[in-house]
Amino acid sequence: MALINFEHHPQFFTATILEWKSLLKDDSYKDIIIDSLRFLKNEGSIVVYAFVIMPNHIHLIWQIQDGFKQDKIQMRFLRFTAQQFKFRLVDTTDSRLNNYFVNAKDREYQFWERNALSIDLWTPEVFMQKVDYIHSNPLQQKWRLADLPENYKYSSARFYETGMDEFDLVTHYN
């Protein structure tokens, strides 16, 4: 893990869909998240070390790069994906859009719970613990999304097992 600069800590990041609704069960919504992460990676603002997209939440280990502010990157990511979710629901005349209507002062719709979790990872041991947690998430009894971590498409587990990254997103941690 020598390539990770622990002076600018990688972070374990979790965001949840409003009221734990299963919006992300549909792969097209997962693809919105992938596209947004890939955009941030390609602009050089983040490095993604691990991820999983579950039916109602996401987990990432990412590292905000020099010259970028963590709160701004997080806000851009969540705002952009929320806008894309809304556009997709509108374009497909999906009645689930009503599930996200909040009519708040600052927004009409809300897709992500407020206060996403972001935790600095200070040591390689904690980093690896979070990678293992992320990759085993789809196997939990309440989900049963795959029989092996690498068999769940929307996770970085396959990359770590085979070296293949169909999303062109993940940087190996060592």
Q: What pLDDT sits at residue 3?
A: 52
Q: Per the structure block, which two tokens stand in for 134?
A: 């992320």
Q: Is residue 138 part of a domain?
A: no
**pLDDT the model gives residue 174:** 79
The structural domain count of the chain equals 1
The radius of gyration of the chain from alpha carbons, rounded to an integer in Å, stands at 16
Tell me the pLDDT tens digit for each residue of 38-96: 999 999 999 999 999 999 999 999 999 988 899 999 999 999 999 999 999 999 999 99
Encoded tokens for 92? 């497909």
Residue 137 in domain: no
140 assigned to some structural domain: no
In a domain, 149, yes or no: no
| 45 is a domain residue | yes
Q: Which amino acid is at 62?
A: W
Q: What is the mean pLDDT of residues 98-119?
A: 94
Give residue 57's domain range: 11-131
- What pLDDT is stored for residue 2 in this prediction? 36
**pLDDT band for position 102 (cuts 50, 70, 90):** very high
Residue 32 lies in a domain: yes
The pLDDT of residue 137 is above 70: yes
Task: Provide the 8-state DSSP code for 55.
Answer: S
The CATH number that applies at residue 28 is 3.30.70.1290
* HSE (side-chain half, CA atoms, 13 Å) at 112: 22
- 85 in a domain, yes or no? yes
Find, among 85, 101, 70, the residue nearest to 23 by Cα.
85
pLDDT at 158: 97
> Residue 165 falls within a domain, yes or no?
no
Would you state the pLDDT for residue 67?
86
